[in-house]
């Protein structure tokens, strides 16, 4: 692997994982980082993304110029009642896994990767098992504090396991803990390069008051009706203390505009409502003093890498309660405020009040959040990929 011939040929990487942005975008960031690092040495990278035909990765990979191959996969529909997991849908889907393994084994054998990177999701299971069968190094990356089901299944087949938090290591199978390395969760480099002045200009915030803190409200790309409703319930009060940038989701703009229509002019001038925040997101995050958001793994990675004081409102239906676990983990460390269970507008106001009223309190939480962040996570993960490939 270290011969001159090996170093001249393209580095070959298979990426698997997807279904959601939480699995897909960390993998994409790792690919970009690997390409940039090897380009600096004059070496190219051949990447093949293996995923589900109907997964997010099937759209993201080709759009980013990454070759894509689909395999069959099965989804386990979880339930607190084990008997309910033995459903016709689960049984049918699990029957697809052997087919997926056979397809993935053929792909891995033909592509002959230097290493396989799995970022989780159901499609990662057949590809990870195929890597083991083909004797190719497998690096498993876990984004959440708790180990996802797919990565839990692959832990014993992995060459290395990269985790986002020290707290994850004791949750691994005992035999896998020795190969675990804490890298953090890769964050897109552009997120770390935002400028607050550009946000004010790009969003056209004519009424922006630089003497007041800025609150960024987001429920993710599609928005959150729960968060929208909570913010609407305290909006006049919130605007009397802060500028507010509210990303409510494209389908929710009309409803939120109706709710905001009765705001007095001076308050309305400090309220920027938008369905979606795109390329300006890094600048909006740079501008924000307080963030009100969900607590998915990607969101947590960005907020901690940036060191943002946040009020986290987990999505109750997230797989395995992961968002609640993420939020609780940060809150217990004093690195965020978490609102769990049933949440009222009054509870949100009580959570936000000290963050707006006391800059020192806000700064303390931001500092603790930053101590949990790893802005170099992508570089760390790429280092593992290269190291594992070199040892093959």
Question: Which of 146, 119, 132, 182 is CA-nearest to residue 327?
Answer: 146
Question: Rounded distance, CA 144 to CA 185, Å?
Answer: 8
Residue 92 confidence (pLDDT) above 80 = no
Indicate whether 35 and 123 sit together in one domain: yes
Q: Is residue 85 very low, low, confident or very high in pLDDT (cuts 50, 70, 90)?
A: very low
Residue 77 confidence (pLDDT) above 50 = no
pLDDT given for residue 94 in this prediction: 57
Question: Rounded distance, CA 381 to CA 33, Å?
Answer: 9
User: pLDDT (tens digit, 9 = 90+) per residue, 217-268?
Assistant: 999 888 999 999 999 999 999 999 999 999 999 999 999 999 999 899 999 9
Q: Is residue 202 very low, low, confident or very high in pLDDT (cuts 50, 70, 90)?
A: confident
Indicate whether 24 and 115 sit together in one domain: yes
Indicate whether 225 and 98 sit together in one domain: no
Question: Rounded distance, CA 282 to CA 134, Å?
Answer: 41
Indicate whether 269 and 302 sit together in one domain: yes
Phi, then psi, of 4 in degrees rounded to 5: -60, -35
Indicate whether 282 and 331 sit together in one domain: yes
Indicate whether 181 and 235 sit together in one domain: no
pLDDT given for residue 83 in this prediction: 46
Any idea what DSSP says for residue 261? Answer: T
pLDDT given for residue 93 in this prediction: 57
Indicate whether 77 and 41 sit together in one domain: yes
User: pLDDT (tens digit, 9 = 90+) per residue, 53-75?
Assistant: 999 999 999 999 999 999 998 66
The Cα-based distances of 387 to 115, 162, 390 in angstroms read 10, 13, 5
Lowest mean pLDDT among 78-87, 194-203, 205-214: 78-87
Indicate whether 320 and 285 sit together in one domain: yes
Question: Which of 133, 146, 154 is CA-nearest to residue 16?
Answer: 154
pLDDT, averaged across the chain: 91
pLDDT given for residue 318 in this prediction: 76
Work out how many domains the chain is built from and give that number. Answer: 2
Indicate whether 177 and 41 sit together in one domain: yes
Question: Rounded distance, CA 239 to CA 365, Å?
Answer: 22
Domain of residue 345, CATH code: 3.40.50.2000
Question: Rounded distance, CA 282 to CA 128, Å?
Answer: 34
Q: What angle do CA 165, 118, 78 make, to 5 degrees?
A: 80
Indicate whether 199 and 176 sit together in one domain: no
Q: What is the pLDDT averaged over residues 360-388? A: 97
**pTM for the model:** 0.87
Indicate whether 137 and 227 sit together in one domain: no
Report residue 287 CA to chain centroid gap.
21
Question: Which secondary-structure segment (H or E) carries 50?
Answer: strand 45-51
Contacts of 53 (CB under 8 A, 6+ apart): 70
Contacts of 313 (CB under 8 A, 6+ apart): 224, 226, 227, 230, 292, 293, 294, 295, 327, 339, 343, 348
Indicate whether 381 and 345 sit together in one domain: no
Torsion of CA 59, 71, 12, 22, to 10 degrees: 50
Domain that holds residue 119: 4-187+375-391
């Amino acid at each position: 692997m270290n011969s001159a011939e090996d170093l001249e040929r393209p580095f070959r990487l298979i990426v698997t994982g997807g279904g959601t942005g939480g699995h897909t975008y960390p993998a994409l960031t790792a690919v970009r980082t690997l390409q940039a690092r090897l380009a600096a040495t004059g070496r190219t990278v051949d990447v093949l993304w293996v995923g589900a035909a109907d997964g997010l990765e099937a759209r993201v990979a080709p759009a980013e110029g990454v070759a894509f191959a689909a395999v069959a996969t099965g989804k386990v529909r979880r339930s607190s009642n084990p008997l309910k997991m033995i459903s016709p849908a689960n049984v049918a889907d699990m029957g697809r896994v052997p087919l997926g393994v056979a397809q993935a084994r053929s792909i891995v054998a033909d592509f002959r990767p230097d290493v396989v990177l799995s970022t989780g999701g159901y499609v990662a299971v057949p590809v990870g098992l195929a890597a083991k069968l083909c004797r190719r190094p497998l690096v498993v990356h876990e984004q959440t504090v708790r180990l996802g089901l797919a990565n839990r299944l692959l832990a014993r087949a992995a060459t290395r396991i990269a985790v986002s938090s020290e707290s994850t290591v004791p949750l691994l199978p005992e035999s896998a803990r020795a190969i675990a390395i804490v890298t953090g969760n890769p964050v897109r480099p552009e997120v770390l390069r935002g400028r607050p002045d550009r946000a004010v200009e790009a969003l056209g915030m004519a009424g922006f008051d630089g003497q007041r803190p800025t609150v960024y409200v987001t429920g993710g790309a599609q928005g959150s009706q729960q968060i929208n409703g909570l913010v609407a319930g305290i909006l006049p009060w919130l605007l009397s203390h802060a500028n507010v940038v509210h990303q409510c989701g494209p389908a929710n703009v009309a409803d939120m505009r109706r709710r905001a229509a009765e705001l007095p002019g001076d308050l309305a001038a400090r309220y920027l409502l938008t369905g979606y925040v795109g390329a300006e997101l890094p600048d909006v995050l740079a501008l924000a003093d307080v963030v009100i958001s969900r607590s998915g793994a990607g969101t947590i990675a960005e907020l901690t890498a940036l060191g943002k004081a946040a009020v986290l409102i987990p999505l109750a239906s997230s797989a395995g309660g992961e968002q609640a676990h993420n939020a609780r983990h940060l809150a217990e460390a004093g690195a965020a405020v978490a609102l769990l269970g049933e949440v009222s507008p009054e509870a949100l106001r009580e959570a936000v009040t000290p963050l707006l009223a006391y800059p020192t309190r806000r700064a303390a939480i931001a500092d603790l959040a930053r101590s949990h962040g790893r802005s170099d996570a992508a570089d760390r993960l790429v280092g593992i990929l290269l190291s594992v490939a070199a040892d093959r």
